[in-house]
């Protein structure tokens, strides 16, 4: 499908949104209380010194808002508000720009943005550079990526990121064949080679952002339709990878190239269809997410929101509550079950699926490994240092032993767990009796080692 996002004028320029809003934080999440000019679609948040800035989709250049405290927002002067001559080849004499991205990098402030003709792949990603946003001395660097009916991708929704070594990259794309990422020159800030296709979703996927944290690259994106009033289905999803070029898997082990993506936030109530997310580390591993939602009480106009973003068991969340998982064996259907055992060294078992907390496990990150903590007993799944094929998997109170560390190996929507200490994999052993022991075996392609992973 080639249809990119659309921006109804009513949603972006509603008169009510030019007034001053006050958004009060709900009890369920740390949503910031915002006021001022909150008319915003596709926010891009950054902080320079003590001043917060947001770039946004806008009808006259690249929209800018600013704040001295991050909560009270003022309308700024748009970048290139009269438009640039080269834009007309892509947006038909329009001054509209879409989904900007800001970065302070290598002595420059960078602003990536898109111009496009709605309903087509006639699009371009532009670059502007400045000393800082505050100085406003923007220099046009022209189009750096373009697309047309003959390209597989659509050149919109750019987002700058750095890999673990500090090298610059740009993710981009929308609908069509999904999301891409491409390496950038550290001096020209423009692409240096071919892009990598990293995500696809038949519902439509756009507005990507990649952030690096604790050994993983996290790919955030908006899935669904953004701007169809009450029928809008936008929601924010995430997957992660040990490589910036993917593959990116969600919490259930589904590749984002195959439609995967764990929902971070789906909205509900008065405000719906969250998306256009912008993720920022404000320092000391304190993260926030800026995004827009549609106000069902105001003609579905777009409104700015900012939430604290927590990291729970190695995954981003608007809540600090852990997510628990059930693991079902692909061969037998039995779930991994702690069996209510509380003694160190007790055997971990298997049981037919139930709502028992004995079958619910918290995935506690340990670098690029995970530790599996039973919800009912608090014991951790432990390889017990056993190296013989067919040995039982055990349980033990929390420790730093590598016997409790497991590597997730994804296989076609299922996950295999390899013990860090011994190299053996968790194995259902083909057992079908409730209460049977969970085993371990060296790596093979048997379905006994493959587990479905379902959040509870």
User: Catalytic one among 37, 42, 157, 308?
Assistant: 42
CB 100 within 8 A of CB 90: no
| 250 in active site | no
206 is catalytic: yes
The per-residue b/e assignment along 307-344, b for 16 or more CB within 10 angstroms, e otherwise, is bbbbebbbbbbbeeebbbbbbbbbbbebbbbbbebeee
Closest CA to 258 of 201, 209, 220, 207: 201
Tally of CA atoms within 13 A in the half-sphere of 84 that contains its CB: 23
- The one catalytic residue in 65, 206, 255, 335 is 206
Per-residue HEC secondary structure of the chain comes to CCCCCCCCHHHHHCHHHHCCEEECCCCCCCECCEEECCECCCCEEEEECCEEEEEECECCCEEEEEECCCCEEEECCCECCCCCHHHHHHHCCCCCEEEEEEEEECCEEEEEEEEECCCCCCEEEEEEEECCCCCCCCEEEEEEEEECCCCCCCCCCCEEEECCCCCEEEEECCCCCCEEEEEECCCCCCECCCCEEEECCCCCEEEEEEEEECCEEEEEEEECCCCCHHHCCCEEEEEEECCCCCCCECCCCCEHHHCCCEEEECEECCEEEEEEEEEEECCCCCEEEEEEEEECCCCCEEEEEEEEEEEECCEEECCCCCCEEEEEECCCCCEEECCCCCCCCCECEEECCCCCHHHCEEEEEECCEEEEEECCCCCEEECCCCCCCCCECEEECCCCCHHHCEEEEEECCEEEEEECCCCCEEECCCCCCCCCECEEECCCCCHHHCEEEEEC
Whether the CB-CB separation of 123 and 86 falls below 8 Å is answered with no
Active site residues: 42, 206
């Amino acid at each position: 499908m080639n249809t990119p996002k659309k921006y109804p004028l009513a949603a972006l320029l509603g008169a009510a949104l030019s007034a001053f809003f006050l958004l009060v934080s709900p009890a369920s999440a740390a949503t910031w209380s915002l006021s001022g000019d909150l008319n915003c679609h596709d926010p891009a948040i950054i902080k320079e010194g003590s001043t917060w800035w947001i770039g946004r989709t806008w009808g006259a250049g690249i929209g800018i808002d600013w704040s001295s405290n991050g909560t009270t927002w003022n309308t700024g002067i748009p970048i290139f508000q009269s438009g640039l001559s080269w834009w007309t080849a892509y947006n038909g004499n329009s001054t509209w720009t879409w989904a900007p991205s800001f970065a302070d990098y290598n002595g420059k402030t960078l602003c990536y943005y898109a111009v496009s003709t709605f309903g087509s792949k006639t699009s371009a990603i532009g670059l502007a550079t400045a000393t800082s946003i505050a100085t406003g001395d923007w220099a046009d660097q022209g189009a750096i990526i373009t697309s047309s009916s003959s390209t597989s991708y659509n050149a919109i929704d750019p987002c700058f990121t750095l890999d673990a070594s500090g090298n610059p990259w740009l993710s981009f794309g929308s609908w069509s064949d999904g999301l891409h990422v491409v390496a950038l020159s550290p001096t020209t800030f423009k692409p240096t080679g071919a892009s990598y296709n990293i995500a696809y979703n038949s519902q439509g996927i756009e507005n990507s952002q990649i952030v690096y944290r604790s050994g993983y690259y996290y790919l955030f994106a908006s899935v669904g339709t953004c701007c169809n009033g009450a029928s809008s289905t936008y929601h924010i999803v995430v997957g992660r990878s040990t490589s910036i070029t993917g593959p990116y898997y969600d919490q259930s082990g589904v590749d984002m190239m195959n439609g995967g993506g764990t929902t971070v936030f789906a909205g509900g109530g008065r405000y719906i269809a969250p998306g256009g997310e912008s993720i920022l580390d404000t320092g000391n591993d304190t993260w926030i997410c800026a995004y827009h939602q549609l106000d069902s009480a105001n003609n579905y106009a777009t409104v700015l929101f900012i939430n604290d973003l927590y990291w729970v068991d190695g995954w981003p969340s608007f809540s600090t509550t852990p997510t628990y998982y059930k693991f079902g064996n692909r061969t037998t259907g039995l779930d991994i079950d702690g069996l209510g055992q509380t003694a160190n060294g007790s055997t971990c078992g298997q049981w037919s699926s139930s709502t028992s907390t004995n079958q619910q496990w918290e995935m506690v990150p340990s670098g690029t490994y995970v530790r599996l903590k039973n919800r009912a007993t608090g014991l951790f799944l432990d390889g017990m240092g056993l190296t013989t094929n067919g040995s039982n998997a055990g349980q033990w109170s929390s420790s730093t032993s590598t016997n409790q560390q497991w590597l997730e190996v994804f296989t076609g929507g299922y996950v295999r767990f390899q013990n860090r200490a011994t190299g053996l994999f968790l194995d259902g052993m083909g057992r079908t009796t409730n209460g049977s022991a969970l085993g371990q075996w060296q790596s093979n392609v048997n379905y006994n080692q493959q587990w479905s992973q379902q959040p509870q």
